[in-house]
Amino acid sequence: MLYLVGMGLGDEKDITLRGLEIVRKCERVYLEAYTSLLSFGLSNNALSTLEDLYGRPVILADREMVEQGMEQILEEACTSDVAFLVVGDPFGATTHSDLVVRARKMGVEVKVVHNASVMNAVGVCGLQLYRFGETISIPFFTETWRPDSFYDKIKANRQLGLHTLCLLDIRVKEPSIESLCRGKKDYEPPKFMTINTAIEQLLEIEETHAESAYNEDTSCVGLVRLGSEMQKIVSGSMKELLTMDFGPPLHCLVIVGKTHPLEEEVLEFYAMSKACINAENCRN
C-alpha cells in the first residue's frame, strides 16, 4: 500500500491522528521536501523531531528522488506499506496525481489522508473561499526569463470580481546554471520568494502589459507562515505592503477582488496601519 499523508501547515503535531497511526505502522516513510516546507524547516533537528513523534526513520524525498527515483518507492509499496508525507494536503497547492496514476499502473493500491493546506487556510484572512478565482504561481524572474502567463489569469479573476491567491516560488536543491553547463551539479542555496519580491514583479509585468489588471493601489493581503505560531496577516495596497518586513518564509499573497461588507470588516483587523504600530515591522 502507498499512503499519501497530508501533514498540515504548522509543525509535526499538525498531522492527523489517522495519519499518525498509518505512519507508525509503515515500513518506509518518505517526506516530500521540495514543493513546500513545514514552518520549522528541514534541518537535522527538525527531522529528529519528526522521527521522535512518528517513531519511524524519515527519508527526505527531494526533487531528484521524486522525479527520477519514484519507481523505487513504488516498487517498495508493491510488497510493503510505504508512507509519502506531503506538507499541507496531498492534493492541495501542488497535486500528486501523477504519483497516484503511476502507482495504480503498477498495481499499487493508494490511500490518501487529507489535511489542511494553503488552499483553505487562506480563508483565515476573512476573504470567503468561494469568492476566489484561479490560483496562480509566481516564479522568480531572472535576467533572461521573466514569465508573465499569470497576468491574464489575474486580469480574468478581477474582471469577475474574484480574489486571486498567489503562490510564491520556492527553490530548494536547484542546480546552478553554471554547474549544469559544466556537466556537474552544484546546488544553489535554498531561496524563498517574499511578498515584497512578488509585488515588485507583479508591478513590473503590469507596466509592461499596461492593461490595468491591477496597480500599486490595488488591495492585497500578505499571509506568512500560515498555520504556525508565527503566522502573520497584513492587508493593504501593493504599495503599502512593499514597505513591510514579513520575516521568514513561507509567504503567499492574495490580490483582492470585489469584497463583501463582512470581508471588509475582517480585513480591517489586519490593516497595514495596525500592523505598523510596531515600527520594526516596516521598512524605511
82 is annotated as contributing to ligand binding: no
Alpha-carbon distance of 85 to 113, in angstroms, equals: 10
217 is annotated as contributing to ligand binding: no
226 is annotated as contributing to ligand binding: yes
110 is annotated as contributing to ligand binding: no
43 is annotated as contributing to ligand binding: no
42 is annotated as contributing to ligand binding: no
163 is annotated as contributing to ligand binding: no
251 is annotated as contributing to ligand binding: yes
Classify strands 82-86 and 28-32 as parallel, antiparallel or unpaired: parallel
Annotated binding site for S-adenosyl-L-methionine: 9, 89, 92, 117-118, 168, 226, 251
Annotated binding site: 9, 89, 92, 117-118, 168, 226, 251
